[in-house]
């Protein structure tokens, strides 16, 4: 394999983060680039030594994640109150962490498939190994240190529902796998143009043809599945649901004097939509009610609203539970970021408690073992994680609830579907992200939760993006950012259990196990 001049190497290293940045949802979102964006990086891994591949992988990953996660500065700076230098530091630290996975990917790919020490190594090794390594490391990132699986490459195809139906086989990881395989095949096509290539290697040709066959299956299945499910969904049981986007200023949301005004905003927007009297359920966003319904006088205003309009209400609100009382009168109380279901009579019909909390946003990790972190609790909150994925029931509707960024974790939606949910509801407050790319990226990941489980998804966000997604990933209706509005739509209630719901969620875990097997095999053969 010919060595690249330093300038070419540097150019290839910069090309992948540039192409990926342009392909991902946000300001540009030109998704066709996803099929070639990783090609420059794979070419480097093919030619460079493992150590240099690792260095370039780390550097390109760092640049890409600076571009992808720039909104962190808005979250911790504008709304978290940190000075600019600390906000930038938080972005750099997170980008460094994310880029470690790119460095490991490039290192392992160079070791097992590179030609820095074996010029005759088959290109088919890289073609098949690259997607296994990439997806395996994505899966590791989804749970390591509580997990941060933000915008895996497969999510970039969210706007093309005909191409992503394979997610109901192996989750979004199956789509990421297919995209990496496409990129690897492009590298193989380029490589086989060399004058000294060995065209008579039968095994290589068979493995490359197998890769092509796999892609034909994945995208062929997606197109066929889209057509079949779309037809079936159109004949399914439907319910009319409304979402309200209050656009409440995040800086004023928790001001005690603004509570009544906040409730009035949501009630007014909802009632403008309920005049036709055909809506069954209204969804308000995460913490739309900035008070405890259990003991706040404004709870009667909410009860009056639902009874007057004869509808059910699902809204985000904080909640608490008394665990016990000490001899000295002190109480042990658990606080939850919850979704509360209120029936048409104004009574509490169910409650979901957020399971995956935001580290240093809703709880302080390891505070039990590091008491010096306790002062942080005062500023970031001290919520307790819930444990139940049981759906909230409203007659024929069984809602699997996802609060805030729980929509980026496939396992929570999958457990809800497995427990009998026939509808997914995502209540979120994306005001933290400002006018950045993050709300678009958050919406993209939510679309995949619908496709994986073949459930309609209703999304209510404080400042946007709110909307409705059908079971095959079409965004039926959606709002713009920072616009107070209310939308209503008929959504299909679907009960079909997908392969992903049963066991397809293990696809990423199998890829990670494949990495472990490779490392053990090399260790024994060393």
Residues acting as catalytic residues:
286, 354, 404
Positive or negative torsion for Cα 58, 133, 69, 386: negative
Q: How far apart are CA 150 and CA 145, in angstroms?
A: 14
Cα–Cα dist 392/321, whole Å: 19
CB 319 within 8 A of CB 351: yes
| Dihedral of alpha carbons 28, 30, 35, 36, sign | negative
> CA of 224: how far to CAs of 57, 131, 216, 229, 502, in Å?
37, 24, 12, 9, 21
| 3-class secondary structure, 399 | strand
Distance CA 413, CA 446 (A): 10
| Strand pairing report for 281-283 and 238-245 | parallel
d(C-alpha 61, C-alpha 205), whole Å: 32
Burial zone of 322 (CB within 10 Å; 0-12 exposed, 13-18 middle, 19+ buried):
exposed
Return all residues near 336 (Cβ < 8 A) that are at least 6 apart: 318, 319, 320, 321, 353, 354, 383, 384, 386
Q: State how far the Cα of 200 lies from the Cα of 203, in Å rounded to an integer.
A: 9
- Contact yes or no for 417/455 (Cβ under 8 A): yes
CA 428 to chain centre: 13
């Amino acid at each position: 394999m010919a060595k690249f001049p330093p300038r070419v190497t540097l150019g290839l290293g910069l090309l992948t983060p540039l192409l990926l940045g342009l392909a991902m949802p946000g300001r540009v979102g030109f998704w066709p680039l996803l099929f070639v964006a990783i090609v420059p990086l794979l070419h480097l891994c093919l030619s460079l030594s493992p150590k240099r591949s690792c260095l370039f992988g780390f550097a390109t990953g760092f640049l890409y994640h600076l571009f992808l996660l720039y909104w962190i500065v808005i979250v911790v700076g504008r709304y978290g109150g940190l000075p600019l230098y600390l906000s930038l530091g938080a972005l750099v630290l997170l980008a460094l962490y994310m880029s470690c996975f790119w460095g490991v990917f490039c290192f392992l790919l160079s070791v097992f498939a590179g030609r820095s020490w074996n010029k005759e190594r088959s290109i088919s090794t890289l073609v098949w190994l690259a997607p296994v390594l990439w997806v395996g490391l994505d899966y590791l990132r989804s749970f390591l240190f509580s997990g941060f699986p933000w915008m895996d490459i497969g999510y970039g195809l969210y706007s093309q529902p005909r191409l992503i139906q394979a997610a109901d086989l192996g989750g979004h990881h199956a789509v990421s796998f297919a995209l990496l395989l496409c990129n690897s095949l492009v590298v193989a096509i380029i490589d086989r143009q060399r004058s000294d290539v060995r065209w008579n290697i039968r095994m290589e040709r068979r493995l490359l043809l197998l890769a092509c066959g796999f892609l034909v299956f994945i995208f062929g299945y997606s197109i066929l599945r889209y057509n079949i499910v779309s037809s079936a969904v159109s004949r399914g049981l439907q319910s009319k649901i409304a979402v309200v986007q209050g656009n409440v200023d995040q800086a004023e949301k928790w001001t005690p004097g603004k509570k009544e005004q906040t409730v009035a905003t949501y009630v007014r927007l909802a009632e403008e939509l309920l005049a036709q009297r055909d809506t069954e359920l209204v969804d308000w966003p995460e913490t739309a009610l900035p008070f405890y319904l259990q003991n706040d006088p404004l709870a009667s205003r909410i009860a009056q609203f639902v009874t007057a309009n004869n509808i059910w209400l699902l809204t985000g609100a904080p909640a608490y539970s008394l665990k016990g009382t000490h001899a000295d009168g002190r109480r042990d109380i658990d606080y939850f970021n919850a979704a509360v279901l209120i029936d048409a009579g104004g009574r509490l019909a169910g409650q979901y408690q957020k399971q995956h909390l935001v580290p240093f946003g809703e709880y302080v990790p390891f505070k039990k073992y590091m008491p010096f972190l306790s002062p942080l609790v005062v500023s970031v909150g001290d919520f307790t994680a819930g444990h139940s994925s049981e759906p909230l029931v409203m007659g024929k509707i069984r809602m699997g609830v996802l609060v805030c960024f729980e929509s980026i974790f496939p396992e929570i939606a999958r457990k809800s579907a497995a427990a009998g949910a026939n509808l997914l509801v995502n209540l979120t407050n994306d005001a933290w992200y400002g006018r950045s790319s993050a709300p678009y990226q958050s919406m993209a990941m939510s679309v995949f939760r619908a496709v994986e489980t073949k459930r309609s998804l209703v999304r209510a966000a404080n400042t946007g993006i709110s909307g409705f997604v059908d079971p095959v990933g079409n965004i039926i209706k959606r709002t713009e950012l920072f616009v107070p509005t209310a939308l209503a739509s008929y959504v299909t209630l679907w009960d079909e259990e997908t392969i992903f719901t049963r066991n397809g969620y293990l696809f990423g875990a199998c890829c990670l196990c494949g990495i472990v097997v490779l490392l053990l095999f090399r260790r024994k053969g060393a």
